[in-house]
Amino acid sequence: MAAVTRDTCAALDAADALAPLREQFDLPPGLIYLDGNSLGVLPCATAGRVQDVIRREWGQDLIQSWNKAGWIDAPQRVGDKIARLIGAAPGEVIATDSTSVNLYKVLSVALASVQAADTDARRRVIVSERDNFPTDLYIAESLARQHGFTLRLVETGEIAAQLTGTAGDELAVLLLTHVHYRTGRMHPMAELTAAAHAAGALVVWDLAHSAGAVPVDLKGCDADFAIGCGYKYLNGGPGAPAFLWVHPRHLAQAVWQPLSGWMGHAAPFEFTPGYRPAAGVKAFLCGTPSPIALAALDCGLDTVLAAEALGGMASVRAKSLAMTELFIALVAQRCAGHGLSVQTPADQALRGSQVSLHREEGAYAIVQALIARGVVGDYRAPGILRFGFTPLTLRFVDVWDAVEQLLQVLESGEWREARFHQRAAVT
Residues 354-383 that bind its own copies (CB under 8 A): 371, 376, 378, 380-381
When the beta carbons of 254 and 318 are compared against its own copies, the nearer one is 254
Q: How many residues bind its own copies (CB under 8 A)?
A: 88
Q: Which of 396-417 are b and which e, b meaning 16 or more Cβ less than 10 Å from the residue's Cβ?
A: bbbbbbbbbbbeebbeeebbee
Q: Judge whether 232 counts as a catalytic residue.
A: yes
Give dist(CA 234, CA 207) in Å, integer: 11
Region of 65-73, 193-201, 301-309, 321-329 interacting with its own copies (CB under 8 A): 65-73
231 is a site residue for its own copies (CB under 8 A): yes
- 246 contacts 217 by C-beta, under 8 angstroms: no
Q: CB–CB of 159/129 below 8 Å?
A: yes
Is residue 324 within the footprint of its own copies (CB under 8 A)? no
Known catalytic residue at 386: yes
Quick count: other Cβ atoms within 10 Å of Cβ 188? 13
Identify the DSSP state of 424. P
Measured distance CA(412)–CA(406) in Å, rounded = 10
Q: CA-CA distance, 36 to 213, in Å (whole number)?
A: 10
Looking only at residues 235 through 254 of this chain, which bind its own copies when binding is defined by CB under 8 A? Answer: 237-240, 242
Cβ closer to its own copies: 4 or 304? Answer: 304
Nearer to its own copies, 157 or 274 (CB): 274
Could you give the CA distance from residue 83 to residue 81 in angstroms, rounded to a whole number? 5
Task: Return d(Cα 262, Cα 10) in angstroms, integer.
Answer: 54
Nearer to its own copies by Cβ, of 119 and 422: the residue is 422
For its own copies, the binding residues in 71-110 under the rule CB under 8 A are 71-73, 97-101, 104
> Smallest gap, in angstroms, from Cβ of residue 366 to its own copies?
17
Q: Interacting stretch for its own copies, rule CB under 8 A, among 117-125, 135-143, 211-219, 307-315?
A: 135-143
* CB nearer to its own copies: pick between 43 and 87: 43
- The residue among 94 and 240 lying less far from its own copies, judged by its C-beta, is 240
Q: How far is the CB of 181 from its own copies (least distance, A)?
A: 9
Outline where DSSP puts E strands in 307-407.
340-342, 354-359, 375-376, 378-380, 384-388
Which residue of the set 133, 149, 225, 364 is catalytic? 133
The conformation of residue 392, written as its DSSP 8-state character, comes to T
Stretch near its own copies under the rule CB under 8 A, chosen from 2-10, 33-41, 316-324, 403-411:
33-41
Give the binding range for its own copies (CB under 8 A) out of 30-38, 190-198, 303-311, 325-333. 30-38
Q: Please, what sign has the CA dihedral across residues 389, 394, 400, 404?
A: negative
Residue among 65, 59, 64, 88 at smallest CA distance from 76: 88
Of 231, 284, 379, 420, catalytic: 231
User: Site residues for its own copies, window 161-200 (CB under 8 A)?
Assistant: 182
Q: Which is nearer to its own copies, 104 or 400 (CB)?
A: 104
Q: Which of 81, 386, 389, 396 is catalytic?
A: 386
The answer to whether 133 is a known catalytic residue is yes
Beta carbon of residue 63, minimum distance to its own copies (angstroms, whole number): 5
Measure the CA dihedral 289/37/304/188, to 10°.
-100
| Rounded Cα distance, 94 and 279, in Å | 13
Check residue 256 for interaction with its own copies (CB under 8 A).
yes
Catalytic annotation, residues: 133, 206, 231-232, 386
